[in-house]
Chain A
Amino acid sequence: MADAKVIPFDDDRSRGAAAQRPQRRRSAGSRRKGEPAVVREVQPLPGRAVPQDDGPVAGEEKAPVKPQEGGLEQRIAGGLAFLRRRLTGDYEVDDFGYDEELTDQVLMSLLRPLYEKYFRVEVKGIDNIPEKGGALIVANHSGTLPLDGLMMQVAVHDNHPAGRHLRLLAADLVFVLPVVNELARKAGHTLACAEDAQRLLERGELVGVMPEGFKGIGKPFSERYKLQRFGRGGFVSTALRAGTPIIPCSIVGAEEIYPMIGNAKTLARLLGFPYFPITPTFPWLGPLGAVPLPTKWTIQFGEPIHTDGYPQEAAEDPMLMFNLTDQVREQIQHTLYKLLVQRRSVFF
């Protein structure tokens, strides 16, 4: 932490980007074919004769090393095997309806262009997420549509060295809407309630929560980067009960994708939504107005706050809950301001 303060801002940025890009690509390539982590370590050696198993990785990253047909053939075979499994229903989902195969091979690939090309997400502090065991990632929430949660999921998925999957806790509205609820369940999201969160944490999963909820995501543009109240702090007691660390996460860039300048409350009530955003382009330009602005994003995972030192009954102590909630909130807010100072512009 002390080191990071000494390094100038611009230097830090370019270094971070350079160090991260290749790693993400590599992990994305090997993961897509469902290969074990060992391959990732073997793969970077340049002049090595590539064995059969490395085919897909080589085909994607270093085409000249191996003839293109080999990689293509492998990829077609892989794709057909995937198709075969899907068509015959021969895949597994967990109790929450999380379909790991579909998430890895389809849903993440659909979100990746948005993540890499559109928002050009830069990820910092990924090492703060533990290699294994449960952890609760607490992030700020903004942007009218919950794209920030999805981008955070891609960020963890593509950058974490252990290839961990983030399980997001979503508002109940998500599970009421058709299609959305189906995709959310398959992507590993579940209802933001203490029961589900605790069950996931006890299973050693990485859980993501945005305690600001609708207050955060539906706040007007004038209040951007001002954290709202963190619910009732339920996430702290859940983490305490499970004894898992809390990792604060600050997301910069999501606030500006849909600058919400008004809220059509009557229309929202009519449709049953918590708010109905009015932006400079929406709903005036129709569906075109729903295209988010291409802002440049930064997602920073902060230092974990450990909760395993507290006694069992600490989860029942409201004062401690408020203090810990404030601590998490302060840390996120502080990091947000720091990242905003470092930011050159909203779009670059």
Chain B
Amino acid sequence: MGKVVLVTGVARRLGGRFVRRIQRDPEVERVLGVDAITPEHHLGGADFVRADIRQPTIARVLAEYSVDTVVHMDVTGTPLGSGSRATVKETNVIGTMQVLGACQKSPTVKRLVVKSSTNVYGSAPRDPAVFTETTPPKSLPSGGFAKDTVEVEGYVRGFARRRPDVAVCVLRFANILGPGADSPLASYFALPVLPTVFGYDPRLQFVHEDDVIEVLRIASHEPRRGTLNSGTFNIAGDGVLLLSQCARRLGRPTVPLLLPVVTWAGSAMRTVGMTDFSPEQIRLLTHGRVVSTVQMRETLGYEPKFTTAETFAAFARSRGPGLLPPEALAAAVDRIAALPALGGGHPPTQSAN
């Protein structure tokens, strides 16, 4: 008998991709996609159940199809379409509570995978440089998506205590980027000129969408020999990029602003409703955040295919050149190097070394 997998949040691109991918796995018999709105993309051969996870109907869905694996991906920072921050928070927190309540009632559920985020660590100057899964955050996130994830993880821990027979896996993803990412950070990098905080150059880590899908797949199947896929894991690509580096690689100029100005402008823009540039986003772009992925490698047994730099390169390619494309800058430097006044005349490749 194959597995019946229920995936929440399939109306988003990432959820849709995961549904299409997991039903190709031989041990999966049936995939159910759940979301409050009908997805625009196709879901392969998966069944779509239109249900709002904030309502108790989700319990009926679990019972009716005797679901054994629940992949809860509807924990997100941005509203889908025209939604407000309040709706997102409701879906994150109340939705998770409903899903967990339904799982607790269901005798068939054997495995629960929750998509969380490294936002749970917050960003503060007094934190250690690298977070491990056990690092307690110095300052708990005060609001926004970060606080949602902290609360979601709290409920998930409670569920794991009450149902020790269910394998629970919490995956804390770093900033997810990829050719079609729709995260707040992706929309930030889409700005023609990047506002930055003066005097701070945060360290950022990215994880590629392909790696996200693969890790979710590993977590929703039986663990491979020698690995364990229940517990909490940080998921991020290798290496670190500074924000200044990101801007240069994207070819977008930066405008350093003083921190109070950034905070004020962010709240003003939120009030007007132009963007949802939340305070925790500003904190991330001020102090940065780096997580250790040792557990992901050694316990979960997963090696990410993309490093942070490669993820960012893939993202940059999909976005097109900015105002100052790095190639143009490099060519300009090469032209200076080739000037006869500088004893040039040697091919530019030499100076590239």
Chain A partners chain B: yes
Please, what's the 1-or-0 string for B200-220, where 1 marks a CB less than 8 Å from any CB in chain A?
A: 110100000000000000000
Minimum C-beta distance from A186 to chain B (A): 7
Q: State the CA gap A212–B197 with chains docked (Å).
A: 32
Question: Which residue of A73, A88, A182, A193 contacts B200 across the interface (Cβ within 8 Å)?
Answer: A182
Knowing A89-B247, A178-B198, A191-B129, say if A185 contacts B203 (CB, 8 Å).
yes
Please, what's the 1-or-0 string for B150-185, where 1 marks a CB less than 8 Å from any CB in chain A?
A: 000000000000000000000000000000000000
A195 on interface, CB distance cutoff 8 Å: yes
Chain B residues with Cβ below 8 Å from A73 are 342-343
Q: State the CA gap A299–B334 with chains docked (Å).
A: 43
Binds B, one of A35-43, A76-84, A236-244, A247-255: A76-84
Q: State the CA gap A199–B292 with chains docked (Å).
A: 10
Which residue of the partner chain A has the closest CB to B316?
Answer: A89
Q: Are A84 and B351 in contact (CB under 8 A)?
A: yes
B245 on interface, CB distance cutoff 8 Å: yes
Q: Are B352 and A89 in contact (CB under 8 A)?
A: no
Question: Which residue of B125, B129, B343 contacts A196 across the interface (Cβ within 8 Å)?
Answer: B129
Knowing A89-B247, A185-B201, say if A97 contacts B128 (CB, 8 Å).
no
Question: Which residue of A72, A88, A89, A196 contacts B246 across the interface (Cβ within 8 Å)?
Answer: A89
Q: State the CA gap A161–B294 with chains docked (Å).
A: 33
Minimum C-beta distance from A211 to chain B (A): 18
Main secondary structure of the interface of A (DSSP, over half): helix
Q: Are B326 and A182 in contact (CB under 8 A)?
A: no
A179 on interface, CB distance cutoff 8 Å: yes
Please, what's the 1-or-0 string for A180-224, where 1 marks a CB less than 8 Å from any CB in chain B?
A: 111001100011010110010000000000000000000000000
Knowing A195-B130, A196-B130, say if A89 contacts B249 (CB, 8 Å).
yes
Q: Which of B129, B240, B248 has the largest count of A CB atoms less than 10 A from its CB?
A: B129
B242 on interface, CB distance cutoff 8 Å: yes
Main secondary structure of the interface of B (DSSP, over half): mixed
Q: Are A84 and B334 in contact (CB under 8 A)?
A: yes
Q: Are A181 and B200 in contact (CB under 8 A)?
A: yes
A12 on interface, CB distance cutoff 8 Å: no
B239 on interface, CB distance cutoff 8 Å: yes
A317 on interface, CB distance cutoff 8 Å: no
Chain B residues with Cβ below 8 Å from A89 are 244-249, 326
B82 on interface, CB distance cutoff 8 Å: no
Q: Are B290 and A87 in contact (CB under 8 A)?
A: no
Knowing A88-B326, A178-B199, say if A193 contacts B342 (CB, 8 Å).
no
Please, what's the 1-or-0 string for B245-262, where 1 marks a CB less than 8 Å from any CB in chain A?
A: 111110000000001000
Q: Are B343 and A69 in contact (CB under 8 A)?
A: yes
Which residue of the partner chain A has the closest CB to B291?
Answer: A95
Q: Are B201 and A77 in contact (CB under 8 A)?
A: no
Chain B residues with Cβ below 8 Å from A172 are 125-126
Q: State the CA gap A243–B49 with chains docked (Å).
A: 57
Chain B residues with Cβ below 8 Å from A186 are 201
Chain B residues with Cβ below 8 Å from A322 are none
Chain B residues with Cβ below 8 Å from A191 are 125-129
Chain A residues with Cβ below 8 Å from B129 are 95-97, 190-191, 195-196, 199
Q: Are B351 and A80 in contact (CB under 8 A)?
A: yes
Knowing A96-B129, A199-B130, say if A76 contacts B333 (CB, 8 Å).
no
Chain A residues with Cβ below 8 Å from B128 are 191, 193, 195-196
Chain B residues with Cβ below 8 Å from A182 are 199-201
Chain A residues with Cβ below 8 Å from B330 are 84, 87-88
Q: Are B200 and A77 in contact (CB under 8 A)?
A: no
Minimum C-beta distance from B175 to chain A (A): 15
A3 on interface, CB distance cutoff 8 Å: no
Question: Which residue of A92, A190, A195 contacts B239 across the interface (Cβ within 8 Å)?
Answer: A92
Contact residues of B between 102 and 148, Cβ < 8 Å to A: 125-130, 132, 135
Q: State the CA gap A180–B198 with chains docked (Å).
A: 11
Which residue of the partner chain B has the closest CB to A94?
Answer: B240
Which residue of the partner chain A has the closest CB to B342?
Answer: A76
Q: Are A91 and B245 in contact (CB under 8 A)?
A: yes
B350 on interface, CB distance cutoff 8 Å: yes
Chain A residues with Cβ below 8 Å from B125 are 172, 175-176, 181, 191
A93 on interface, CB distance cutoff 8 Å: yes
Q: State the CA gap A81–B338 with chains docked (Å).
A: 12
Q: State the CA gap A177–B244 with chains docked (Å).
A: 18
Please, what's the 1-or-0 string for A92-133, where 1 marks a CB less than 8 Å from any CB in chain B?
A: 111111010000000000000000000000000000000000
Q: Which of A77, A99, A179 has the largest count of B CB atoms less than 10 A from its CB?
A: A77
Contact residues of B between 292 and 345, Cβ < 8 Å to A: 326-327, 329-330, 333-334, 336-337, 342-343
Contact residues of A between 5 and 52, Cβ < 8 Å to B: none
Knowing A69-B343, A73-B343, A84-B330, say if A93 contacts B203 (CB, 8 Å).
yes
Q: Which of A72, A91, A181 has the largest count of B CB atoms less than 10 A from its CB?
A: A181
Chain A residues with Cβ below 8 Å from B132 are 195
B353 on interface, CB distance cutoff 8 Å: yes
Question: Which residue of B135, B259, B329, B351 contacts A81 across the interface (Cβ within 8 Å)?
Answer: B351
Which residue of the partner chain B has the closest CB to A77?
Answer: B351
Q: State the CA gap A91–B135 with chains docked (Å).
A: 29
Point out residues on A near B: beta carbons under 8 Å: 69, 72-73, 76-77, 80-81, 83-84, 86-97, 99, 172, 175-182, 185-186, 190-191, 193, 195-196, 199
User: A86-B248, A95-B130 provided; 15 other pairs, C-beta below 8 A?
Assistant: A76-B342, A77-B351, A81-B351, A89-B245, A93-B203, A93-B241, A93-B245, A94-B240, A95-B290, A97-B242, A99-B242, A179-B198, A181-B125, A185-B201, A193-B128
> Could you give 20 example pairs across A and B, Cβ below 8 Å?
A80-B337, A84-B329, A87-B329, A88-B329, A94-B240, A95-B129, A96-B130, A96-B290, A97-B129, A97-B288, A172-B126, A178-B200, A178-B259, A179-B199, A181-B125, A181-B200, A191-B127, A195-B128, A196-B128, A196-B129
Point out residues on B near A: beta carbons under 8 Å: 125-130, 132, 135, 197-201, 203, 239-242, 244-249, 259, 287-288, 290, 326-327, 329-330, 333-334, 336-337, 342-343, 346, 350-353
3 smallest A-B Cβ distances: which pairs? A178-B199, A89-B248, A88-B326
